[in-house]
Amino acid sequence: MIFKTTLGLCAFSGAMALASMASAGPIDNACQKAGRASNPGTCGCIQQVADMTLSHRDQRRAASFFHDPDRAQEVRMSDRQSDSDFWDRYKNFAATAEGFCK
């Protein structure tokens, strides 16, 4: 029983360490600099979802929306197919982050 508890604690600690390392990315950085998140944990969670759903290039583009929210509207309304494709990926990311990071 003690072994199982110790093993479980080690696994949990390892997962938490990996989660905190993974959160240092463009979305996390922009989120924290924007100051709109409720806490750094929320920004880290959003970054983890970005890592699962967006390429690094898409993450950098999405991070720019924290600094310039009007840019998101421009991309959303754009007639360019590449912007439309990105917007579909971004909407998927946003919906997933909303579900995971409540």
Give the distance between the most distant pair of CA atoms in the chain.
61
Compute the distance between CA of residue 46 and CA of residue 37 in angstroms, rounded to an integer.
10
* pLDDT, tens digit (0-9, with 9 covering 90-100), for 17-61: 455 455 589 999 999 888 765 688 999 999 999 999 999 999 999
Neighbours of 41 (CB within 10 A): 13
Report residue 5 as tokens.
């508890």
Burial code (b: 16+ CB inside 10 Å, e: under 16) for 9-18 equals: eeeeeeeeee
Structure letter (DSSP) for residue 54? S
This prediction's pTM: 0.74
Neighbours of 55 (CB within 10 A): 12
Q: Is the pLDDT of residue 13 over 50?
A: no
* Contact assessment for residue 67 and residue 30, using Cβ atoms and an 8 Å cutoff: yes
* pLDDT, tens digit (0-9, with 9 covering 90-100), for 57-95: 999 999 999 889 999 999 999 999 999 999 999 999 999
